[in-house]
Structure 1
Amino acid sequence: MDRRLNKYKLNIYLMYGYWFFHNLIFAYVIERLYWASKGMSTQQVVYTEIIYASVVIILEVPTGSLADRWSKKWLMVINSLFVIVEFIILINASSFWHFALAVSVSGIAKSLASGTSNALVYDSLKMLNKEHSFEKISGRLGFFDYSASLLAALIGSYIAYKSGYVSVYLLSLISVSICFMITLLLSEPNSIPIEDKTQSYAECIRESFNFLKLHSSIRFVLLFGIVISSVFIYIDEFWQIYLSEIKIPVLLFGVISSARMLSASISGIYAYKLKDRFSYKNIFSMLIIIFIVSILSASFIKSYFGLIPLVICFIAFGLVEPLALGYLHHRTDSRIRATVESFQSLVLRAAAIACGLLFGYFSTKFNIFTGFRVLGIILAVYSIYYFAFKNKHI
């Protein structure tokens, strides 16, 4: 393999490192407890989620187009810089507006990387003539993602127990700094002809929109991923509160978080094998049933046994992203790859706002169990649409 191709192969390994250190965040295991210690209520946390989603919605498509027209590598570099700023703000936060600023910076970082990272991986594989391996690589990226989160949860919960919440945020700042250095080593995949890069940003966005408009099957699959993810966001964000409500001590949060991360990472690795054995229609149908049953079960089981459906939920979610994004990228041209995925992320954030308003209202008015129950009902309502039209669109 010549030197030119070696740099694209190196991109894949660098992205493994990027996602490892991007998620080696020791603070996440006690994040909600830290925010609560600073006076943040559940409703205020939901407000920050809405602020975050709003920032992403505004910037999502323009930054996706920027990645396609300018540089995927440098958007990843700038993304990492914003993440560093985010943690500096969080370490010094003492009011709602500090947290609001932090999530705004996080939203900018997310919009820069959303679509860009997957497009960089897919185009690097394309330069190696291995784009058919995207689901496999995506699953492995998820493995490094979840493995880092698992390790960080184990270490973070112990350090938080011994040294306090701020210590784990300082350690997390080191991780995101390493992540920044990794992005500097990435190479730009030259999968788009120079003449195609002369297309304006407005034309790129318009072409991406028309592409989605013409492909109903892609829209249908992306909607599946959007609905599942917009609900799962609040399972992922508030599982700590759920554990606290069922009287599980903080010292065990790391072990439980490790179990959920490990289960999701392993399922993600084998997602591509499911695609080869079963149809997308059958896989997605089974997944939506699993999500509905798991979330509703957790909302009614107010004891340690509620952990079982939660872990099952994480196992199922590990399969969603590699399969849904693989379906998209195999059918999308490199000229608009990041922009098209950015449209998906934009709609996801809008859906997350709607779910968040409902979840926040019922969780605050009643309790976390009612909030989870509302999420399960949202999925059940969507499933009516999914099963009514799956034969037509998949």
Structure 2
Amino acid sequence: MFCENLKKIYILNQSLQWFMVGLILPILTVFQVEKGLDLFEVGIVMGVYSTSIILLELPTGALADTIGRKKVFIISVVLMFISFFGMLISQEFWHYIISFAFLGASRSLSSGTIDAWFIDEFEKKYPDGNLQETLAMVGIFVTLSLGGASLLGGYIPMSSLSIIISHIEGFDIYSLNFMVALFLALCQMLLTSVLIKEERIVEHQEKGILSGLMAFPSLIATSVHYGLKNHLVFLLILASVFWSFSLSGVEMLWQPKAKEVAGAEFQTSILGILGSGYFFAGALGSYISIPLCRLFKNDYAFVLFMMRLFMGTVLVIMAISTTQVGFAIAYWTFFLINGVKESPHATIYNEAIPSEKRSTMLSFESFVMQIGGLAGSICLGYLANNFSIEYAWMFSGALITSSSLIYILVRKQRQLIVEQPSG
């Protein structure tokens, strides 16, 4: 019963968090253009968002381990509220710079907070539970939440209420998306305060945020050292870097590729169908991961090895697709595989890191993934611009396929760890 209640609270928290994001994603670029920004300025704004995440990812992870994960998560929701409100009322380029900097800070603060709290509570009070299956089930709900919110986010600007609001000075048809998100952010603050019970004693918590900030240098140095010196953790982080590098190229280039494949038949509704299918395919992948891992007797590293090989192959098929149906099937299959790999990787990683460093180490992985994604956007964008999208994706496919070998090393490392006590 405890496990079910804990899981429901975690699902509600994460689904609501990503539902807010999903409401904004479909209109993130067009609303800025509607407000007068050109695409180069939009690129700068998104760069500020990514940079703020990279700069703050590690310090904010350490903060969660020092002053408490619930407290830091609520602060992140407050910053998200400020960000959404800023976007709603912004009229100048620099307004968006500030708003997206706050959004990046919010993303950094939320990373490694409630998820770390859940894993600690799950392992402490339900030691015989299957973490991989639990994370997979949570992933299904979260991904469905994102998909449903994205569909709703695309519909809201077409509603009669949005049209009415757009006639008010300073607002447009996209304003209602942000108003709904602001209301949900208030709900998230309230629900988190009431439902999340953090019983663990956190070092420095009684001394407040200042002591947490003073603890940053030693915590970060220890975590970076742990991430580089622990062979299993290092291999898992390396696998994440290759994944984020390649994924950034897919997320950045799939829309122009879809338009290229459709040719004269292209309609914007195609992007909506493909985009929502992305999330639903990911949810299905999370579900499939449960029986798949059971089939291979929870040999997570071997499952991840197979998924990497499959993912690289599918990306090459996407690159050479010339029909809309073929591209759609390959695109959704790619993200279905991505959904399969999430919970096995997270399970191995969380088993490899100690509880007292969990938030910081989760943030450390997210930090290097952000760097990998930024590098991928630049490198693959260059290849696509100077050669072709097909060339960029074939390069990524080869990289993903090659990186599958990392999980063979992960498998061997896990076996060594298991054998150590008896040796």
What range describes the TM-score normalised by the shorter chain of this pair? 0.7 to 0.9
> 1:103 corresponds to which letter in structure 2?
F
Q: CA deviation at 1:249?
A: 2.9
Q: CA deviation at 1:110?
A: 1.2
State the identity %: 18
Q: CA deviation at 1:182?
A: 2.1
> 1:280 corresponds to which letter in structure 2?
Y
Other-structure match for 1:231: 246
Other-structure match for 1:181: 190
Q: CA deviation at 1:129?
A: 2.4
Other-structure match for 2:352: 331
Other-structure match for 1:286: 306
Q: Tell me, in whole angstroms, the C-alpha distance in 1 between the residues paired with 2:251 and 2:88.
A: 22
Other-structure match for 1:358: 379
Q: CA deviation at 1:333?
A: 1.4
Q: Tell me, in whole angstroms, the C-alpha distance in 1 between the residues paired with 2:228 and 2:14.
A: 32
Alignment of 1:120-269 (within 5 A): 120-130=117-127, 132-162=129-159, 163=163, 164-191=173-200, 200-236=215-251, 239-245=254-260, 246=262, 247-251=265-269, 253-269=271-287
Q: CA deviation at 1:56?
A: 1.7
1:298 to 315, 318, 331: 318
Give the structure-2-normalised TM-score.
0.79
User: Structure 1 residues 386 and 261, CA, compared in 2 at 3 Å: closer, same or farther?
Assistant: closer
Q: Tell me, in whole angstroms, the C-alpha distance in 2 between the residues paired with 1:203 and 1:271.
A: 38
> 1:205 corresponds to which letter in structure 2?
I
1:90 to 87, 92, 95: 87
- Asked which structure has the greater RCO (Cα within 8 Å, sep 6+), the reply is 1
Other-structure match for 1:17: 12
* Other structure's SS at 1:23 match: helix
- More displaced stretch, 41-50 vs 320-329: 41-50
Other-structure match for 2:112: 115
Q: Tell me, in whole angstroms, the C-alpha distance in 2 between the residues paired with 1:390 and 1:19.
A: 28
- More displaced stretch, 355-364 vs 107-116: 355-364
Q: CA deviation at 1:16?
A: 1.3
1:73 equivalent to 2:93? Answer no
Number of residue pairs aligned between Structure 1 and Structure 2:
385
Q: Tell me, in whole angstroms, the C-alpha distance in 2 between the residues paired with 1:241 and 1:66.
A: 40
Q: Tell me, in whole angstroms, the C-alpha distance in 1 between the residues paired with 2:74 and 2:216.
A: 21
Deviations 1:268-306 (A, max 9, x none): 134244333333343222222333233333333354221
Structure 1: give runs of 5+ residues left out of the alignment.
none
Q: CA deviation at 1:351?
A: 1.1
Q: CA deviation at 1:61?
A: 1.4
> 2:307 corresponds to which letter in structure 1?
L
Q: CA deviation at 1:80?
A: 0.9
User: Structure 1 residues 235 and 391, CA, compared in 2 at 3 Å: closer, same or farther?
Assistant: closer
Q: Tell me, in whole angstroms, the C-alpha distance in 2 between the residues paired with 1:320 and 1:51.
A: 29
1:384 to 386, 395, 402: 402
Give the structure-1-normalised TM-score.
0.84
Other-structure match for 2:103: 106
Largest Rg, 1 or 2: 2
* Other structure's SS at 1:115 match: coil
- More displaced stretch, 196-205 vs 321-330: 196-205
Other-structure match for 1:274: 292
